[in-house]
Amino acid sequence: MTNSDTKFAGSIPEIYDTYLVPLIFDAYAHDLARRTAAGMPAAVLETAAGSGVVTRALAPLLAPTARFVVSDLNQPMLDRAAARQGADARITWRQADALALPFDAASFDAVVCQFGVMFFPDRVAGFAEARRVLKPGGRFLFNAWDTIETNDFARVVTESLAQSFPADPPGFMARTPHGYHDVRRIEADVRAAGFADVAIETVTMTSRAPSARDAATAYCQGTPWRNEIEARDAKALDAVTADAADAIARAFGTGPVECRIQAHVVVARASE
């Protein structure tokens, strides 16, 4: 992972939320929210909340008396999430590093993280922090993308960018979002952090976009891939996005497009 992999700034948060969230994150957010709410937690911490897709899905499912702390390392993403959420006295917004949480031990019934653990520079340390702030019997729920080969839009855009920059292909997507896909490694890391009860389920869903251009915009302009593209050629973003849109259209057709996406969902319980 490089420093640019965690840089969600400028126009990226807005494009991310407008294009990428409905493309690949929304369905998994509702799945993770449902799993979290099933435990009827009175106090929930969300880490790496991004632009708040899980927050929006989970808040309506929590009790009126619940306490919900929503955190992210990137203040621009957290600002976007808060603006989208609307007033809710149960929610506290907090900029926080998931590897050094500013909360007391045994403070939460559930810790939830949607597609954030891949960005942790030390995943065992991040998981251990989740374990520390959980009450006995509390649950840590997160998801992580499977291989890039099982996520078709990401694969096609990766191949397109390799053609646009053959001497130095931008590697963000394979390196980070899809770089933590080995379920044996994930389970070992979670157990190393102090969790003994770990369940992992691989969930396949369908990703849909109104057009190939929308899908290409999501990936090329709404993720840190944009930082890599502009670092190689500051004027190439629109042309590279158009090339990626053409590649998606060739693979999945013109008009509305859809393809497979796949991720692992992890539920770990703190010992009583």
Q: Is the pLDDT of residue 5 over 50?
A: no
Q: In whole angstroms, what is the distance from residue 55 CA to residue 91 CA?
A: 9
pTM, entire model: 0.93
| Mean local confidence (pLDDT), 76-90 | 92
- Give how far the C-alpha of residue 211 lies from the chain's centroid of Cα atoms, to the nearest Å: 22
Quote the CA–CA distance of 35 and 205 in Å, as a whole number. Answer: 16
Domain count, the chain: 1
- Contact in structure between 134 and 105 (CB atoms under 8 Å): no
pLDDT value for 12: 77
**What CA–CA distance (Å, rounded) separates 66 from 103?**
17
Residue 60's domain spans which residues?
3-269
Query: pLDDT tens, 10-39?
Result: 667 789 889 999 999 999 999 999 999 999
Q: Which of 242, 219, 54 is CA-nearest to residue 141? A: 54
Collapsing DSSP states into helix, strand and coil, what is residue 8? coil
pLDDT value at residue 118: 96
